[in-house]
């Protein structure tokens, strides 16, 4: 569920005013991008020749953008609040799609209880300097090499969650939905 996810470095799936924090409906934001922002690829003949900033309806400043956290930007308040609240109870930390080079997000790997498992789902082994152990003798660290969509789908399948995940297929990004549908079809053929 979305309420269980904290986008530590923001999201390309949400938009807000950088100055006042007023959120903008994401579909409306996407439409304003299509109407206001120059297409540097030259693929959209209807795109404007010049870009104009997207104005905030609340404060009228031209500072609406995706909610991604740019370098030296502030982390979302919920990150700090939920970290203090959730980490002591953590029994599994899944780390995916990251270099683990940027603080404070990378500190999560050593702030969880020593009994918690850490699963790194990534294209490369990261976090050795933070204490992640990739040796065969590792007790708490597991490495799942590959693309995030594929490794998450594999985990869901091993946990017996594919049927639950299938109920959300229409809400998933196209590439994730396609992978899930293929895996479900493959499972039906094997039965």
Pairwise CA distance, residues 21 & 63, whole Å? 10
Distance of CA 124 to the CA centre of its chain: 17
**Quick check: is 9 catalytic?**
yes
Q: Per the structure block, which two tokens stand in for 15? A: 């938009």
Look at the block and give the residue holding tokens 């795109």.
47
Instruction: Please identify which of the residues 6, 9, 32, 75 carries the catalytic annotation.
Output: 9
Please name which of 9, 24, 5, 39 lies closest in space to residue 102, comparing C-alpha atoms. 9
| Rg, Å, the chain Cα set | 20
Distance of CA 78 to the CA centre of its chain: 15
Q: Quick check: helix, strand or coil at residue 51?
A: coil
List strands edge to edge, sheet with 141-145: 92-96, 117-122, 141-145
Catalytic residues: 9
């Amino acid at each position: 569920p979305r309420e269980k996810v904290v986008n530590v470095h923001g999201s390309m799936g949400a938009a807000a005013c950088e100055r006042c924090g007023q959120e903008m409906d994401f579909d409306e934001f996407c439409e304003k991008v299509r109407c206001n922002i120059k297409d540097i690829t030259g693929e959209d003949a209807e795109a404007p020749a010049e870009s104009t900033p997207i104005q905030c309806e609340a404060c009228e400043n031209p500072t609406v953008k995706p909610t991604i956290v740019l370098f030296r930007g502030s982390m979302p308040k919920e990150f700090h609040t939920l970290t203090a609240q959730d980490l002591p109870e953590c029994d599994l930390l899944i780390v995916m799609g990251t270099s683990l080079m940027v603080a404070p997000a990378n500190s999560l790997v050593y702030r969880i209880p020593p009994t918690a498992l850490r699963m790194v789902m990534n294209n490369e082994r990261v976090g050795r300097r933070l204490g992640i152990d990739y040796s065969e003798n590792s007790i708490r660290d597991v490495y799942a090499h590959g693309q995030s969509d594929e490794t998450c789908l594999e985990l869901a399948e091993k946990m017996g969650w594919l049927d639950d995940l299938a109920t959300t297929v229409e809400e998933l990004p196209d590439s994730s939905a396609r992978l899930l549908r293929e895996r479900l079809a493959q499972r039906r053929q094997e039965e």
